[in-house]
C-alpha cells in the first residue's frame, strides 16, 4: 500500500484535465464521478456492482451517518469501509451543506450549528472540530472542511459574510484535522456567483493549504448558464496541481461542461435517485421508462450499454417493474444510470488523454440532439 | 434439450423421497423449494442471484401477471422466461387461489370466477379454459389446474362442494391444456382436513391423469399440527411415481415436516417477504435483525452461511440498513433467506439419499432449540 495521498495530472486538452489521485486504498482516475452512498449504501446497489460500473470512489454523508448508525458505532465496528463492504477510497462531506438545508430545524452561530435530527427530532451540534472528529471516526480517505453555504439567490453581503465564516471554519478544520498520512483534507471555495469573493476565498484556502480544493455553493438553484459562467473562472483560481472537486453536480451535460472547465471530481444523487423513479440517462437524453410507449418495446434501454439492465432485459420489462414499483426496477435502473455516468467519465478521460475532447463533446451533444430511439 | 417432462425417484428414507424432475429447461432436484416470483421478479433479487442460491425453478403468479403486464403482452415479448431473464423451469399457479382471496371483489359461479383487479378495479374473468390459455401464453413449464379453495375452518358440505367443483374444473383444465410436449399439467387435490374427501379428490385426479399432483387447501389457517395430520395421509393418496407439490408452504419446520411425509415440491413467499421486513431464517431459528441487540454486533448473521449477507456484512450493518429501510437491506436479507431455504433442501436431499434423514431432522430440531447466538 502506498502511504501517501497524491495527485498527478497526466494530460490536458484546453482547460479539461485528466489524471490520477493516489491513496492507500487505491487510485482514483480523474475526471471522476463519485456515486453517493448516503447512509452506508449506494441505494439499490451492492458495492461490488458499484465497483463493476467503474467507480473508483464513493461519497458518504456525515449528516446521515452521524445520526444513524452514528460515527462512534461505525468506529467501534472498524470504520465505514468494512461496515459497508467497500475497501476503496471514500470521500465524506462535512455535514455542513445538509445541516444548512434543514431550514427551521437548525440554528447557526459563529462556532457551529445546532440542529434537530430529521429522523427523531433529537438535538445535535456540528462544529468544524466535531465534523473532523466524525469524519476521522468514519475512516474517510478524503475529508471535507466544515462550511456554510447560502442558497442562491442571496445578496452579496450575505454571501460574503457566509464565505468569510466558512474560511474561518476551514482554518479550524485544518487545525483539527492535523496530520494524518494517507488521508486528505479538502478546502471548499465559496463566494456564490461573485468572482472577487471566489478569488478571496481561494486565496484564504491556498494560504491554509489543502490536499485538494472543492468548489462549493453551486448547483443550488442558479441554473446551468450561471454555473458555467462561474466555472469559467472559479477552477483557475484554485491551485492547478491539486484536484478540483465540484460538489453536488450534476446532470450529464453539467458534468461535461464542468470537465471542459477544468473540474476533476464530482458527485451527485441524480443517477441513483432517478433510477428509483424510472428515469434513465442515455446517450440520447433522459428516458422515462414508465412512459406507456415502452410497454411493448422488446429492445434494450440502450443497445450500446454493457450494464445488466441493457444486456438482459427489454424496455418492456423495465417499464413493467418500474411501474409496479418492484425493487428490481430500482436495482436495474440505478445500475444502468451509474454505468452511464462512469462510461461518460471514461469517455472523457480517454478523449482528453488523446487530445480530442472537442470532438468528443461535439459527438456527445449531437447524440443528445438526436433524441431517444423512435417507437418500433 | 430433452423434450419430455419426467420424474425419477432416486432414493427414499421412511416416507421422505429424493429425486429429479426433468424438463426441457433443466432439471429440478427434489425435494425442491420454489422461490416466488409473483410479478415477473423474485422481489429484491436478480435472477442470477436466485440461481446462485441453488434454486432450480421459480413460481410465477397468473393472477398478478394477467393484470400487469398481461399474458398477451408477455407472449408478444416471447414469454415469461425471456421477459424476466430466467431460462430455467417456471411453475405458474392457476390464479384460482389468489382470486378467491379477493373476498368481496370476486363472484364465483359453476363456470368460473369474475373479479375486480386490486390494481385499478377493472373487471376480469377466470375459467379453467382461460387459466390454461394464460399459462400457455406465459410459457409456463409446469401449469396448475384452475381450482377453488375454501379458507378453513369451513363446514364439511362447503368443503365437499368446493372440492367437487374443483375436480370438474380439473377435467376442464386437462381438456383445455391438451397435449404440449415438454410442458406439464398438475392436478390439485382438495378436501380440506377430511380424509375421505381427500381420497375422493385423489381418485378423481388419478382418473383424469396428470404429470404431477399438488396438495391444495392447506396452510390456510389450520395450524401446523392439523396440516401434518393431513399430510400423514394425503401424499400417499396420490400416485407414488409422480411429483407431489404442497402449495404455499411454509416455515422451515413446516417444510421439513412435509418432506418427512413424502412431499417433493413446495413454494412460499415467506423467505422473500420476511427478508423485506428484517426477519432472517437461520439454523437457530428466526432472527429479527431490527432488534436493538444487533446494533453493535460485529458478527455475521450466520457464520456457517455462504450468502453475501453473511460473508460480507456484520449483523450491525444488516440492522442499520434494515432499520433505515435501505433497499440493500431487503436485497441482502432476502438473499440470505433464499440461501437458507435452498441449503435446507440440499441438506434434506443429501440426508435422504444417504438414508440418514432421521438423524438430519434431529440435528435440525436441536439447532433450533439452541436458539440464536447470544449477545457478545
Confidence of residue A3 (pLDDT cuts 50, 70, 90): low
Q: Is A317 on the interface with B (CB under 8 A)?
A: yes
Quote the minimal CA–CA distance from B119 to chain A in Å.
10
Higher pLDDT, B154 or A130: A130
What was the pLDDT predicted at B374? 80
Ordered mean pLDDT values, 10 residues apiece, chain B (376 residues): 83 98 98 98 98 98 97 98 98 93 89 94 96 98 94 90 97 97 97 97 98 96 96 98 98 98 98 98 97 97 97 98 98 98 98 98 96 80
Spatial CA neighbour of A7 closest among A351, A264, A348, A268: A264
A73, A77, A314: residue with CB nearest B77: A314
Which phi-psi region, left, alpha or beta, contains residue A307 (left: φ > 0; alpha: ψ -120 to 50)? beta
| Residue in the block written with cell 495521498 | A5
Is residue A304 within 8 A of residue A72, CB to CB? The reply is no
**Contact assignment for A69 to B314 by CB distance below 8 Å:** no
In DSSP terms, B28 is beta-bridged to: B21
Q: What is the pLDDT of residues A319-329, one digit of tens each?
A: 999 999 999 99
- Identify the active-site residue in A13, A93, A264, A343: A93
Confidence of residue A103 (pLDDT cuts 50, 70, 90): confident
B298, B312, B326: residue with CB nearest A85: B312
Walk me through the domains of chain B, giving residue ranges and CATH numbers.
6-267 (3.20.20.105), 275-369 (no CATH)
Q: What is the 3-state secondary structure (H, E, C) of B109-150?
A: CCCCEEEECCCCCCEEEECHHHHHHHHHHHCCCEEECCCCCC
What was the pLDDT predicted at A352? 98
B40, B298, B321: residue with CB nearest A320: B40
Say if residue A253 carries a ligand binding annotation. Answer: no
Q: Is B299 on the interface with A (CB under 8 A)?
A: no
| B151/B282 Cα distance (integer angstroms) | 30
Mean of all residue pLDDT scores within chain A:
96
Task: Answer yes or no: A267 catalytic.
Answer: yes
Helix (H, G, I), strand (E, B) or coil at A279: strand
| A40/A83 Cα distance (integer angstroms) | 8
**Full-model pTM:** 0.97
- Identify the active-site residue in B254, B267, B297, B343: B267
Is residue A171 within 8 A of residue A127, CB to CB? The reply is no
In DSSP terms, B267 is beta-bridged to: B34
Average pLDDT value for residue range A242-248: 98
Spatial CA neighbour of B245 closest among B271, B270, B219: B219
Contacts of B323 in chain A (CB under 8 A): 68
DSSP code for A294: G
A77, A323, A326: residue with CB nearest B43: A326
pLDDT(A375) > 80: no
Say if residue B190 carries a ligand binding annotation. Answer: yes
> CA angle at residue B27 from B24 to B32, to 5 degrees?
135
What was the pLDDT predicted at A62? 97
Q: Which residues contact A147 (CB under 8 A, 6 or more apart)?
A: A94, A96, A97, A166, A169, A170, A188, A190, A216
What was the pLDDT predicted at B1? 45
Say if residue A187 carries a ligand binding annotation. Answer: no
Spatial CA neighbour of A331 closest among A286, A280, A276: A276
**Contact assignment for B298 to A40 by CB distance below 8 Å:** no
| B32/B20 Cα distance (integer angstroms) | 9
Element (H, E) at B7: strand B6-13
- Identify the active-site residue in A56, A141, A267, A297: A267
**Contact assignment for A317 to B76 by CB distance below 8 Å:** no
| A35/A338 Cα distance (integer angstroms) | 7
Say if residue B375 carries a ligand binding annotation. Answer: no
Angle subtended by helix axes A195-208 and A156-177, to nearest 10: 10
Q: Is B69 on the interface with A (CB under 8 A)?
A: yes
Higher pLDDT, A257 or B97: A257
Say if residue A96 carries a ligand binding annotation. Answer: yes
Is residue A160 within 8 A of residue A169, CB to CB? The reply is no
Q: What burial class does residue A363 get, using C-beta atoms within 10 Å of its C-beta: 0-12 exposed, 13-18 middle, 19+ buried?
A: middle
| Residue in the block written with cell 427478508 | B275
Is residue A45 within 8 A of residue A22, CB to CB? The reply is no
| A369/B76 Cα distance (integer angstroms) | 32
Task: Answer yes or no: B111 catalytic.
Answer: no
Q: What is the pLDDT of residues A293-344, one digit of tens each?
A: 999 999 999 999 999 999 999 999 999 999 999 999 999 999 999 999 999 9
Hey, which residues 5-64 in chain B have their CB within 8 Å of chain A? 39-41, 43-46
**Contact assignment for B314 to A83 by CB distance below 8 Å:** yes
Alpha carbon A122 to chain centroid, angstroms? 28
**Contact assignment for B323 to A68 by CB distance below 8 Å:** yes
The dihedral built from the CA positions of residue B102, B106, B109 and B113, taken in this order, carries a sign that is: negative
Confidence of residue A1 (pLDDT cuts 50, 70, 90): very low
Q: Which three cell numbers stand for residue B347?
A: 441438506
Element (H, E) at B6: strand B6-13
**Contact assignment for A73 to B312 by CB distance below 8 Å:** no
Contacts of B321 in chain A (CB under 8 A): 39-41
Q: What is the ipTM of this complex?
A: 0.97
What was the pLDDT predicted at A152? 75
**Contact assignment for A43 to B330 by CB distance below 8 Å:** no
% chain A with pLDDT above 90: 93
Alpha carbon A160 to chain centroid, angstroms? 25
Say if residue A307 carries a ligand binding annotation. Answer: yes
> CA angle at residue A201 from A196 to A203, to 5 degrees?
95
Query: What are all long-range contacts of B198-204, with beta carbons under 8 Å and residues at least 24 apart?
Result: B198/B230, B198/B233, B198/B234, B198/B237, B199/B237, B200/B163, B201/B163, B201/B166, B201/B167, B202/B234, B202/B237, B202/B238, B204/B167, B204/B170
Q: Which three cell numbers stand for residue B359?
A: 438423524
pLDDT(A151) > 80: no
| B271/A168 Cα distance (integer angstroms) | 54
**Contact assignment for A320 to B78 by CB distance below 8 Å:** no
Confidence of residue A105 (pLDDT cuts 50, 70, 90): confident
Contacts of B86 in chain A (CB under 8 A): none
Of all residues in chain B, the one with the smallest CA distance to A298 is B77
Rg of chain B in Å (alpha carbons): 20
Q: What is the pLDDT of residues A40-67, one digit of tens each?
A: 999 999 999 999 999 999 999 999 999 9
Is residue B33 within 8 A of residue B341, CB to CB? The reply is yes
Q: What is the dihedral of CA B334, B79, A335, B301, to 10 degrees?
A: 10
Q: Which three cell numbers stand for residue A300?
A: 434494450
What was the pLDDT predicted at A206? 98
What was the pLDDT predicted at A163? 97
| B106/B100 Cα distance (integer angstroms) | 7
Is residue B321 within 8 A of residue B328, CB to CB? The reply is yes
| A247/B290 Cα distance (integer angstroms) | 34
Say if residue B230 carries a ligand binding annotation. Answer: no
**Contact assignment for B41 to A321 by CB distance below 8 Å:** yes
Quote the minimal CA–CA distance from A355 to chain B in Å.
40
Q: Which three cell numbers stand for residue B15?
A: 416416507
Amino acid at each position: 500500500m502506498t502511504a501517501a495521498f497524491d495527485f498527478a495530472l497526466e494530460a490536458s486538452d484546453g482547460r479539461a484535465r485528466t489524471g490520477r489521485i493516489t491513496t492507500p486504498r487505491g487510485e482514483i482516475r480523474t475526471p471522476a464521478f463519485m456515486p453517493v452512498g448516503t447512509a452506508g449504501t449506494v441505494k439499490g446497489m451492492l458495492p461490488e456492482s458499484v465497483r463493476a460500473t467503474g467507480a473508483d470512489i464513493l461519497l458518504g454523508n456525515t449528516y446521515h451517518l452521524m445520526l444513524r448508525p452514528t460515527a462512534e458505532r461505525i468506529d467501534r465496528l472498524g470504520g465505514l469501509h468494512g461496515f459497508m463492504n467497500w475497501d476503496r477510497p471514500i470521500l465524506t462531506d462535512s455535514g455542513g451543506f445538509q445541516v444548512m438545508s434543514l431550514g427551521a430545524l437548525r440554528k447557526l452561530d459563529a462556532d457551529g450549528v445546532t440542529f434537530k435530527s430529521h429522523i427523531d427530532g433529537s438535538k445535535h451540534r456540528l462544529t468544524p472540530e466535531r465534523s473532523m472528529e466524525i469524519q476521522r471516526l468514519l475512516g474517510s480517505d478524503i475529508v471535507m472542511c466544515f462550511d456554510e453555504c447560502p442558497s442562491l439567490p442571496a445578496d452579496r453581503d450575505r454571501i460574503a459574510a457566509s464565505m468569510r465564516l466558512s474560511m474561518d471554519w476551514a482554518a479550524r478544520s485544518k487545525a483539527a484535522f492535523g496530520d494524518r498520512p494517507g488521508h486528505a483534507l479538502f478546502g471548499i471555495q465559496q463566494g456564490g456567483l461573485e468572482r472577487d469573493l471566489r478569488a478571496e476565498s481561494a486565496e484564504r484556502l491556498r494560504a491554509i493549504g489543502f490536499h485538494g480544493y472543492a468548489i462549493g455553493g453551486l448547483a443550488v438553484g442558479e441554473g446551468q448558464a450561471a454555473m458555467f459562467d462561474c466555472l469559467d473562472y472559479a477552477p483557475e483560481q484554485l491551485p492547478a496541481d491539486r484536484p478540483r472537486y465540484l460538489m453536488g453536480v450534476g446532470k450529464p451535460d453539467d458534468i461535461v461542461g464542468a470537465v471542459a472547465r477544468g473540474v476533476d471530481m464530482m458527485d451527485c444523487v441524480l443517477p441513483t435517485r432517478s433510477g428509483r423513479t424510472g428515469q434513465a440517462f442515455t446517450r440520447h437524453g433522459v428516458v422515462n421508462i414508465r412512459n406507456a410507449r415502452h410497454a411493448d418495446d422488446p429492445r434494450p434501454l440502450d443497445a450500446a450499454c454493457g450494464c445488466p439492465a441493457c444486456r438482459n432485459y427489454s424496455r418492456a420489462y423495465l417499464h413493467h417493474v418500474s411501474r409496479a414499483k418492484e425493487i428490481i426496477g430500482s436495482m436495474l435502473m440505478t445500475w444502468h444510470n451509474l454505468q452511464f455516468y462512469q462510461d461518460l467519465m471514461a469517455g472523457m478521460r480517454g478523449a482528453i488523454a488523446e487530445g480530442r475532447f472537442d470532438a468528443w463533446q461535439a459527438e456527445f451533444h449531437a447524440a443528445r440532439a438526436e433524441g431517444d430511439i423512435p417507437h418500433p
